[in-house]
Amino acid sequence: MKILLVFAHPESRSLNAALRDVAITELEAQGHEVRVTDLYAQGWKSAVDRTDFPVLASDTRLIPATASKKSFEADALTEDVKAEIAKLIWADALILQFPLWWFAMPAILKGWVDRVFAYGFAYGVGEHSDKRWGDRYGDGTLVGKRAMLIVTAGGWKEHYAPRGVNGEIDDLLFPINHGILYYPGYDVLPPFVIYSVDRFGEADFEPAAQRLRERMRTLATTQPIPYRRQNGGDYLIPSMNLRPDLGDQNTTGFKLHLSGSKS
């Protein structure tokens, strides 16, 4: 497989960097081809602004989605964004790796998504009518490809358990896994999360590295998270609400969008 790993940590001697190297070494040992986007090392520009749309006249009001659509269609996005889009098209699998910062991805990685997941490429794809609400959530440009997260967290695993004070990790990562990766078509694998990393000693590293190697060995075969397909008949159009006959009536929120939540 061809794999793109997008890495978001500012320090080359960090735990994240060491884990990234473990992942790459294992993937290459399995015969995969790996490319890395190292956002801090590349000095990635994360904020969306007018300079992202060189074809926009200086006196034209900036409407980001419209400018993104026109620029993508005209092949007129900036070169850094075009290079990332080309890598996403090249890759069979995408890995996003980051430390959990304020229960989310670091801003530089969010800015990579904001700029690279352009209108017409990652959203605004397919027929939008009273019969179909576009190609997304199971359809889309990146369908047939796999994606997964590698995340480190300072908090304890128990703090992210179903009754943990931080909220459940699958809920916290839902906006990324479902809203960013599943949306444009990726099959999203369960995340690889390491907890309590700020107390990590050298003795903790090898067991974590072993678990990560195993996940890299099974990248092509791990079962994706069973999100419901938008266009698979489970949702009403145009409300995009789950059909009333589906889902456990006591289940609300993110879990409703797992096909296993059928009663």
Q: Which residues of the chain form contacts with ligand FAD (CB under 6 A)?
A: 9, 14-16, 18, 99-103, 152-155, 197-198, 200, 202, 205
Distance in Å, CB of 5 to ligand FAD, minimum:
15
Structure tokens at 78: 């900036």
> Nearest CA to 151 among 169, 171, 128, 164?
169
Instruction: Give the end-to-end CA distance of the chain in Å, rounded to a whole number.
Output: 37
Please state, in angstroms and as integers, the Cα–Cα distance from residue 23 to each residue in 113, 202, 246, following that order: 22, 18, 39
Which of 13, 61 has the CB closer to ligand FAD? 13
Distance in Å, CB of 211 to ligand FAD, minimum:
14
Which of 135, 170 has the CB closer to ligand FAD? 170
Distance in Å, CB of 61 to ligand FAD, minimum:
34
Question: Token pair 């990248």 is at which residue?
Answer: 219
Burial state string for 171-194 with b = 16 or more CB within 10 A and e = fewer than 16: ebbbebbbebbbbbbbbbbebbbb
Q: Are 97 and 46 in contact (CB under 8 A)?
A: no
Which of 91, 173 has the CB closer to ligand FAD? 173
For residues 148 and 156, what is the distance between their CA atoms, to the nearest angstrom?
A: 21
Which of 71, 177 has the CB closer to ligand FAD? 177
Which of 160, 186 has the CB closer to ligand FAD? 160
For residues 86 and 131, what is the distance between their CA atoms, to the nearest angstrom?
A: 31
Distance in Å, CB of 206 to ligand FAD, minimum:
9
For residues 70 and 76, what is the distance between their CA atoms, to the nearest angstrom?
A: 8
Which of 33, 198 has the CB closer to ligand FAD? 198
Distance in Å, CB of 212 to ligand FAD, minimum:
12
3-state SS assignment for residue 85: helix
